[in-house]
Amino acid sequence: MDFAYTPEDEAFRTELRDWLSTSVAEFEHEPVPEIAGMTRQYARRKAWQRKMAEGGWAAINWPKELGGRDATLMQNVIYSQEMAKAKTPGIFNTNGIWQIGPMIIRWGTQEQKDRWLHGILYAEEHWCQGFSEPEAGSDLANLRLLAVRDGNHYVLDGQKIWCTTAHYAKWGLFLVRSDPTAIERGAKHEGITALIVDLTVPGITATPITDIVGEESFCLVTFDNARVPAAYRLGNEGEGWLVAMGTLTSERVGTAGLSITMKSELDNVVEWARTHNPGALADPELRDRLARAYTQIELTRLLNVRALSKVLKGEKGWPEVQIAKLQWSHLAQTLAELQVDLLGPAGLLARGGPDAVDRGQWTRLYSYQRYTSIGAGTTQVQKNIIADRAIKLPRK
Ligand SMILES: Cc1cc2nc3c(=O)[nH]c(=O)nc-3n(C[C@H](O)[C@H](O)[C@H](O)COP(=O)(O)OP(=O)(O)OC[C@H]3O[C@@H](n4cnc5c(N)ncnc54)[C@H](O)[C@@H]3O)c2cc1C
């Protein structure tokens, strides 16, 4: 390993660990506020993010003057590790803190920063991201949600799909097609504009879609003559691709805590199996899968370390970052299957049932983790990139 933590990094870790050790325990005893139209889980996330923001820990990558900590890459790694160890609740504005906020900081006018950043940080209003469309997912630049300029407004018509929590969101960052001729000209990355949209204005409907586990986690969002102020545009007209990708591609190794979370979850299920299905731990086939899973978790940790080491030396995290994405989705699904099998018949008891083990979360994850093959770039598309750029396979 060719990196070390500086005294500043160690001080950062100590301060965070101290804050978490009191705050997580405190939070467990705080009542979850009831919020109309919001699940208990999201109401809890809202309260936790607010607490994090008050402690100065919600948006470590934002500048200090905006409530962040100007965190370095190593501090991001430490943050990810400590959050995983402390088993913190999730936050309310994941998109807002990690993607949309940084886009506003990088591209927004002073007025836009003043209007939106505080609300994102303190979880006052929920934010969603509207990129995918029925005909634009992996091929995102094919997006066609039409935005026609009309005086001081854009008039929006079309659809976005799979927008996570759009039904809770007041605001969203949407990519729209402001120049429809760009696709015909064979220049589809041009003519895209980034707009911040108030989802409560007339003409916008967010319809929840039931997902594989029966929850309503994402939405189809339809726009029918919806008027969005031109003052809500982020960056110049036609530069939406740059606005979105410039921020998304900034190199991060935020998955450092993943192996810690996975190992702790696996340990946890082994404990549940001791109580509910002890025979499983003597089964040679399950023991073999368990050993493989622990080995794969360690491999995931080492992949992240190697990517980090490269980035610290000023090299690209390539191809380790892409391989780590594939490894994560493979392992998340392998673990979910193993965990259900370890619990035996009890592993089939679904959420909500009185006898469900650990609130039925393992049965839920068995189906839910399928999403890891799709989100953050599908498995096939990641493999295409690796084949093309790392292995340099010939193109047909
Ligand atoms: C849980 C979840 C949350 C999401 N949240 C959001 C959100 O908040 N906002 C948002 O905008 N989007 C969101 N998405 C959408 C996500 O970004 C897209 O699903 C993803 O980009 C894939 O696009 P698609 O669904 O259109 O599939 P497609 O791109 O149509 O792909 C369909 C299949 O074809 C394969 N394929 C596509 N192109 C190629 C190729 N060139 N070579 C080989 N195979 C190929 C894919 O791998 C896949 O198996 C979410 C998705 C999920 C699962």
C-beta of 142 in contact with ligand 1 (< 6 A): no
Quick check: 161 and 235 in contact, CB under 8 A? Answer: no
Quick check: 242 and 235 in contact, CB under 8 A? Answer: yes
pLDDT band at 378 (very low <50, low <70, confident <90, very high): very high
- 235 C-alpha to ligand 1 centroid (Å): 26
- 322 C-alpha to ligand 1 centroid (Å): 16
Rounded distance between C-alpha atoms, residue 194 and residue 128, angstroms: 13
Rounded distance between C-alpha atoms, residue 223 and residue 168, angstroms: 17
Nearest CA residue ID for atom 14, ligand 1: 162
251 annotated active-site: yes
- Closest ligand 1 atom, CA of 128? 8
Rounded distance between C-alpha atoms, residue 74 and residue 80, angstroms: 10
C-beta of 131 in contact with ligand 1 (< 6 A): yes
Residue of 94, 103, 140, 162 best suited for mutating to test ligand 1, as the one with most atoms within 8 Å of CB = 162
Q: Which of 251, 271, 298, 315 is catalytic?
A: 251
Provide the 8-state DSSP code for 354. T
- Closest ligand 1 atom, CA of 374? 53
- pTM, two decimals, is 0.93
C-beta of 378 in contact with ligand 1 (< 6 A): yes
pLDDT of residue 38: 87
pLDDT in tens, 98-150: 999 999 999 999 999 999 999 999 999 999 999 999 999 999 999 999 999 99
Q: Output the six-digit token pair for 243.
A: 């606005």
Domains of the chain: 7-92 (1.10.540), 127-239 (2.40.110.10), 258-390 (1.20.140.10)
C-beta of 112 in contact with ligand 1 (< 6 A): no
Rounded distance between C-alpha atoms, residue 216 and residue 207, angstroms: 9
Q: In whole angstroms, how large is the CA radius of gyration of the chain?
A: 22
- 59 C-alpha to ligand 1 centroid (Å): 27
Amino acid identity, position 110 = Q
Position 375 pLDDT exceeds 90: no
pLDDT band at 297 (very low <50, low <70, confident <90, very high): very high
Quick check: 107 and 235 in contact, CB under 8 A? Answer: yes
- Closest ligand 1 atom, CA of 131? 11
pLDDT in tens, 195-214: 999 999 999 999 999 999 99
Nearest CA residue ID for atom 7, ligand 1: 163
Nearest to 325 by CA among 385, 241, 242: 385
Rounded distance between C-alpha atoms, residue 307 and residue 324, angstroms: 9
